[in-house]
Amino acid sequence: MRNYDLTPLYRSAIGFDRLAQLAEHAASNKGNSGYPPYNIELLNENRYRITMAVAGFTMDELDITSEGDKLLVKGTKAEQQEKERKYLYQGIAERGFERTFQLADYVTVVGANLENGLLNIDLQREIPEALKPRKIEIGTSRLIDSE
C-alpha cells in the first residue's frame, strides 16, 4: 500500500472540503514556481490568511483581483531608471510574478495589507443561511380520524 503526500494539494486551495476539487486544481497548476514564497493560515473555522513575501514591492506594484472562485495576486516591478548595478551575488529576486489561488464556494476576500515586506490577504467563508445546517424539532404527530 502506497502513502501519498497530499501537501502540494493544499498549497493554493483555501477552504476546500472536497479532495476531488483539490486534485483537479493541482493538476492544472503545473507552471507555478515557488516565487514568491507564501503561507496559508487557518485563523478559525471560517477565516483564512494568505501571507506572501513580497520584499521590494510597493503597494503600487501589487494587484489583487478576485473573480468567481479565483484569486489572482500579481506583482509588476517598475522599470529601474538608475544605472545598471554590478552584483557580486543577487539573492533578492526583482522579477514580477503572478500567483493564482483557487477559492472554495463562499470564500471571499475581506481585506489586504502590506507590512514589512509581507502581503497579508484575509479571506472568510460566509455560508448563506439557507445552506447552513439547522436543527429540526421533533414533535408528536396526532392522527386525524377521518369520519
pLDDT in tens, 49-80: 999 999 889 999 999 999 988 999 999 987 76
Q: What is the pLDDT of residue 68?
A: 87
Q: What is the pTM of this model?
A: 0.67
- Report the side by side order of strands in the sheet with 47-53: 38-44, 47-53, 118-125, 107-115
Q: What is the pLDDT of residue 8?
A: 64
Which residues does the chain have with pLDDT short of 70?
A: 1-33, 80-83, 142-147
Q: What is the pLDDT of residue 25?
A: 53
Architecture (CATH level 2) of domain 7-127: Sandwich (2.60)
Domain boundaries, the chain: 7-127
Q: What is the pLDDT of residue 64?
A: 96
Residue 146: Cβ-neighbour burial (10 angstroms; 0-12, 13-18, 19+): exposed
Instruction: Supply 65's cell numbers.
Output: 483581483
